[in-house]
Amino acid sequence: MATLDLMSISKSFGSAKVLHDISLAINDKEFVVFVGPSGCGKSTLLRIIAGLEEATSGQIMIGGEDVSTAHPVDRGISMVFQSYALYPHLSVYENIAFPLRVQKMEKAELDARVQQAAGILQLTDKLQLKPGQLSGGQRQRVAIGRSIVRNPKVFLFDEPLSNLDAALRGDMRVELSQLHRSLDATMVYVTHDQIEAMTMADRIVVLNGGRVEQFGTPMELYHHPKTKFVAQFIGQPNMNLIPATVSAADPTGVKVALSGGHEMVLPVDGGHISTGDRVEVGIRPEHVHIGDGGFPISVNVLERLGGVSITYGTVGDGVRFCASLPGDAQVQEGQPLALNVSPEDCHVFDASGDVLRRKAAPAIAVNG
Ligand SMILES: Nc1ncnc2c1ncn2[C@@H]1O[C@H](COP(=O)(O)OP(=O)(O)OP(=O)(O)O)[C@@H](O)[C@H]1O
């Protein structure tokens, strides 16, 4: 069992506190992605798990065993870095075999493990080449191979795809997901790319300023973001945020006037807000459709991508708005448009950026 438990991990560099009381319980065989903007502490947290950095306080358990003070090689982890860190003068075979040579593993066992890793990573016919003769994606696979042969309890990946071009990154995302399935291993993966997080993770940890904003499945984060930060970080194109003023609120719903005056009743818990409060209404670009009675948007730029038409414009007092409409949508640059959205698809954020809990039942009181 390779569970990974982080218990109240904090980290300071001098007087700068970069991780604040992080607790996470990662399941055996789970693929967890740490995602967040530059400087939010993702790499530091991964390095603390690896034992390359010491936590200021807190505990790390791998497979139920406290490894907080264990040496990196004794933690049962293996880390793949952004820079592949291959030895240029050694063959692919010797690069993959390297950690086993250090362990002085017996030759037959070593060869079996290298051949098995090479098979999984489709490197069997590349074993005699030098890293300089490989593509970027193949080099990263060699680095992963070196990780696999050690049979770790937990794989750690620190932005392993960021040196690859976009097309190759897409291919490698699929390969890594397949690798996770075939190895059935616990994996923790750091990236600032929300698409990598959404496509590969069983669960995502969104970090912001050294704190966990939310920990959940990709779809939980997409459908039920707890904060404005998560809402805007997850989903492509980004969620729109329209400033609005509350005209009625109670625990069953809120009535708001969007910037520009369009009124909506939204089924969220307005128990702690009052008439006159300023909120923001979050609407995903893919949740709007053209229709009478909707809120008006003036269209500035239209990108016809074939299947969809990405429509950029403004709402109310110049609030930028992006709509993802059907490829053949009747839209023209410079023309006004009315967009409808189902109230159930709207998110409402209070002044501190926290979401107002959505109600399962339709709003009654403020509807009446
Ligand atoms: N050795 C160090 N000494 C001092 N400050 C550090 C050190 N390592 C990291 N930091 C600081 O800790 C914070 C978190 O850094 P970290 O590298 O973990 O962020 P990150 O989320 O991985 O960012 P990126 O995506 O840019 O790599 C940053 O403010 C960084 O400047």
Closest-CA residue, ligand 1 atom 10, reads 13
Specify the higher pLDDT residue, 169 or 280.
280
Task: For residue 11, give every residue at least 6 positions away whose Cβ sits within 8 Å of its Cβ, in sequence order, or none.
Answer: 17, 18, 19, 41, 44, 45, 48, 53, 55, 56, 210
Q: Contact at 8 Å (CB) between 248 and 260?
A: no
Predicted confidence at residue 367, as pLDDT, reads 41
> What is the DSSP-derived secondary structure letter of residue 275?
T
Residue 97 alpha carbon to ligand 1 centre in Å: 31
Report the candidate in 248, 207, 224, 254 with the shortest Cα–Cα distance to residue 354.
224
Specify the higher pLDDT residue, 46 or 358.
46
DSSP for 123-164, please give it. Answer: -GGGTTS-GGGS-HHHHHHHHHHHHHTT--SEEEEESTTTTS
Q: Where in the chain is the domain with CATH 2.40.50.100?
A: 237-362
Closest-CA residue, ligand 1 atom 14, reads 41
Residue 21 alpha carbon to ligand 1 centre in Å: 16
Residue appearing with tokens 């993770």 = 201
- pLDDT, one tens digit per residue, over 119-160 is 888 899 999 999 999 988 889 889 999 998 988 999 999 998
Alpha carbon 262 to chain centroid, angstroms? 33
Residue 314, pLDDT above cutoff 90: yes
Residues forming a β-bridge with 242: 281
Residue 175, pLDDT above cutoff 90: no
Residue 13 alpha carbon to ligand 1 centre in Å: 9
Superfamily of domain 4-232: P-loop containing nucleotide triphosphate hydrolases (3.40.50.300)
Residue 38 alpha carbon to ligand 1 centre in Å: 8
Alpha carbon 76 to chain centroid, angstroms? 25
Residues forming a β-bridge with 325: 309
Residue 81 alpha carbon to ligand 1 centre in Å: 15
What's the CATH class of domain 237-362?
mainly beta
Residue 44 alpha carbon to ligand 1 centre in Å: 6
Predicted confidence at residue 1, as pLDDT, reads 67
Plot region of 119 (φ>0 → left; ψ -120 to 50 → alpha; else → beta):
alpha
CA dist list (Å): 40 to 181, 192, 205, 211, 218: 29, 10, 12, 8, 19
Q: Contact at 8 Å (CB) between 330 and 216?
A: no
Predicted confidence at residue 354, as pLDDT, reads 96
To test the ligand 1 pocket, which listed residue (40, 156, 158, 190) has its Cβ within 8 A of the most ligand atoms?
Answer: 40
Average pLDDT, the chain: 92
Residue 264 alpha carbon to ligand 1 centre in Å: 43
Percent of residues, the chain, with pLDDT higher than 90: 77
- pLDDT, one tens digit per residue, over 252-283 is 999 999 999 999 999 999 999 999 999 999 99
Alpha carbon 152 to chain centroid, angstroms? 24
Specify the higher pLDDT residue, 183 or 129.
129
Instruction: Count CB atoms within 10 A of the CB of residue 338.
Output: 14
pLDDT tier at 359 (50, 70, 90 boundaries)? Answer: confident
Predicted confidence at residue 364, as pLDDT, reads 46
Predicted confidence at residue 368, as pLDDT, reads 35
Closest-CA residue, ligand 1 atom 28, reads 39
Closest-CA residue, ligand 1 atom 7, reads 13
Mean pLDDT calculated for residue range 198-213: 96
Predicted confidence at residue 366, as pLDDT, reads 53
- pLDDT, one tens digit per residue, over 24-51 is 999 999 999 999 999 999 999 999 999 9
Kindly tell me the sign of the dihedral angle through the C-alpha atoms of 13, 19, 25, 30. Answer: negative
For residue 336, whether the previous peptide bond is cis, meaning omega lies within 30 degrees of 0, is no
Q: Contact at 8 Å (CB) between 91 and 129?
A: yes
Closest-CA residue, ligand 1 atom 3, reads 13
- pLDDT, one tens digit per residue, over 285-303 is 999 999 888 999 999 999 9
pLDDT tier at 361 (50, 70, 90 boundaries)? Answer: low
For residue 192, give the ligand 1 atom closest to its CA.
25
Closest-CA residue, ligand 1 atom 25, reads 38
Residue ranges lining ligand 1, Cβ < 6 Å: 13, 18, 36, 38-44, 192
Q: Where in the chain is the domain with CATH 3.40.50.300?
A: 4-232
